[in-house]
């Protein structure tokens, strides 16, 4: 083999879903449908919140940023997955693979921090309602969002620079659906314990710290909600938080399993399954969960889509 003695492969082969065979066409159709719905749903939520001044509140500000982030997060992996399902040649250049890994982790890290900011916003709104308008100002919202993006894009730099310097001199087949750190480490022909340790440290900071902060916020929120006298008040408070918690458990549950571990990889099938959850299912679920559980957002979506009818309506202001 030509590349066998080389320390740098020029390209990798993404094995994707090797066992799909005859159902490849169906899988392509389902994935394309999921991707189109993800783009449409997240873009709709982003635009509706931005165009509707009644929704210019901190909670919706963060939901719109999450929707915007999901558009880019899915764009780093799904188009390549779709192309590979149709193509016999499933190659990706070395640089392309490293860039895909970096942007996937940068956007994923930003999402971890953004979900933490959203839980802090809900904590202030429910546990400190009188101080909420004074604390959660538009300036603070902007600073928190900027901090989430900046930290998210800085966090994976050490992992990516280390993995890009590893020698890949034998097998170039990545047993995964997209380029990622665990499968890349499993292909390196050099001891990778330093990489595994650095990955574990970075991922603990990016995943475990936000997850524990979110759980802490929601522990306090639940305690405060249980003290509310009226049942209607309790239901309203719980419903605003339930959607956020569903997203948190879907996203964090799968990435904790995938990245918080002191070994290179588990079974490739298991890794692929969890990768589908956090790279396809969660971004697809976000617009459904947030819009279906939020009456104010549903009203704004209807008003935006059917605005012509609204204008002719006598009750329109």
Inter-CA distances, 85 with 20, 25, 33, 209, 279, Å? 9, 8, 14, 36, 16
d(CA 265, CA 161): 20
| Contact assessment for residue 49 and residue 60, using Cβ atoms and an 8 Å cutoff | yes
Tokens of 159: 């992992």
Average pLDDT of every residue of the chain: 86
Mean pLDDT within 77-88 = 91
What pLDDT does 315 receive?
44
Position 307 scores a pLDDT of: 65
pLDDT for 292: 67
Q: Could you tell me if 171 and 187 are in contact, meaning their C-beta atoms sit under 8 angstroms apart?
A: yes
The pLDDT value recorded for residue 311 is 43
HSE, CB side, 13 Å, CA atoms: give it for residue 291: 22
The pLDDT of residue 23 is 84
pLDDT at 233 over 80: no
Mean pLDDT of 88-98: 92
Distance CA 258, CA 266 (A): 9
- Helices 58-75 and 138-154 sit at what angle, rounded to 10 degrees? 20
CA angle 199, 204, 206 (to 5 degrees): 95
- CA–CA gap between residue 15 and residue 271 (Å, rounded): 13
Q: Where are the domains of the chain?
A: 11-312
**234 vs 56, higher pLDDT:** 56
Cα(179)–Cα(175) distance, integer angstroms: 9
pLDDT in tens, 247-299: 888 899 889 888 887 665 567 778 888 889 899 999 998 888 877 667 788 88
pLDDT confidence of residue 72: 96
Specify the pLDDT at position 266: 62
Distance CA(243)–CA(294), nearest Å, equals 9
Q: Who has greater pLDDT, 43 or 298?
A: 43
Question: Tokens representing 116?
Answer: 């933490």
CATH class in words for 11-312: mainly alpha
pLDDT digits 0-9 by tens, 3-23: 444 456 788 999 888 777 778
What pLDDT score was predicted for residue 20? 73
Q: Rounded mean pLDDT of 215-243?
A: 82
Q: How far is CA 183 from CA 63, 98, 101, 285, in A?
A: 32, 12, 11, 26
Run of H or E residues at 139: helix 138-154
Half-sphere exposure of 256 (CA within 13 A, CB side): 12
| Count of all residues that appear for the chain in the document | 317
pLDDT of residue 263: 65
Please write the tens of the pLDDT for every residue from 160-181.
999 999 998 878 899 899 999 9
CA nearest neighbour of 52 among 309, 240, 300, 313? 300
The answer on pLDDT for 194 being more than 80 is yes
| Whether the predicted pLDDT of 313 surpasses 50 | no
Q: What is the pTM of this model?
A: 0.88
In which band, very low, low, confident or very high, does the pLDDT at 34 lie, cut at 50, 70 and 90?
Answer: very high
- Residues 104, 258: contact at Cβ < 8 Å? no
Supply 37's token pair. 């719905």
What pLDDT does residue 264 have? 56
CA distances from 65 to 35, 38, 59, 103, 144 (A): 18, 15, 10, 17, 11
Q: What is the pLDDT of residue 273?
A: 85
State the pLDDT at residue 308: 44
Dist CA 256 CA 150 (whole Å): 22
The distance in angstroms from the start CA to the end CA of the chain is 72
What would you measure as the largest C-alpha separation in the chain, in angstroms? 77
pLDDT for 89 equals 85
Closest by Cα among 303, 119, 146 to 214: 119
User: What would the mean pLDDT of 25-29 be, rounded to a whole number?
Assistant: 90
């Amino acid at each position: 083999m030509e590349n066998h003695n080389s320390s740098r492969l020029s390209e990798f082969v993404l094995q994707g879903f090797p066992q799909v065979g005859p159902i490849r066409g169906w899988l392509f159709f389902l994935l394309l449908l999921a991707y189109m719905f993800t783009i449409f749903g997240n873009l709709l939520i982003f635009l509706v919140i931005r165009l509707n001044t009644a929704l210019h509140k901190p909670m919706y500000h963060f939901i719109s940023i999450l929707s915007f982030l999901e558009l880019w997060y899915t764009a780093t992996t799904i188009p390549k997955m779709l192309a590979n399902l149709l193509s016999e040649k499933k190659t990706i250049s070395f640089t392309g693979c490293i860039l895909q890994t970096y942007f996937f982790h940068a956007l994923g890290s930003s999402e971890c921090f953004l979900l933490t900011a959203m839980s802090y916003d809900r904590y202030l709104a429910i546990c400190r309602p009188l101080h909420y308008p004074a604390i959660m100002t538009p300036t603070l919202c902007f600073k928190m969002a900027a901090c989430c993006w900046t930290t998210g894009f800085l966090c994976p730099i050490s992992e990516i620079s280390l993995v890009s310097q590893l020698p890949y001199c034998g097998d170039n087949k990545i047993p995964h659906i997209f380029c990622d750190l665990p499968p890349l480490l499993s292909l390196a022909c050099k001891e990778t314990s330093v990489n595994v340790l650095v990955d574990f440290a970075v991922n603990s900071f990016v995943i475990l710290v936000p997850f524990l902060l979110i759980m802490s916020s929601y522990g306090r929120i639940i305690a405060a909600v249980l003290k509310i006298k009226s049942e209607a008040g309790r239901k309203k408070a719980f419903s605003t938080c339930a959607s956020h918690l569903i997203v948190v458990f879907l996203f964090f549950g799968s990435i904790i399993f995938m990245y918080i571990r002191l070994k290179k990889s588990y079974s490739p099938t298991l890794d692929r399954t969890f990768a589908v959850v956090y790279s396809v299912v969660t971004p697809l679920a976000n617009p459904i969960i947030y819009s279906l559980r939020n009456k104010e957002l549903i009203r704004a979506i209807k008003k935006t889509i059917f605005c012509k009818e609204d204008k002719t309506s006598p009750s329109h202001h």
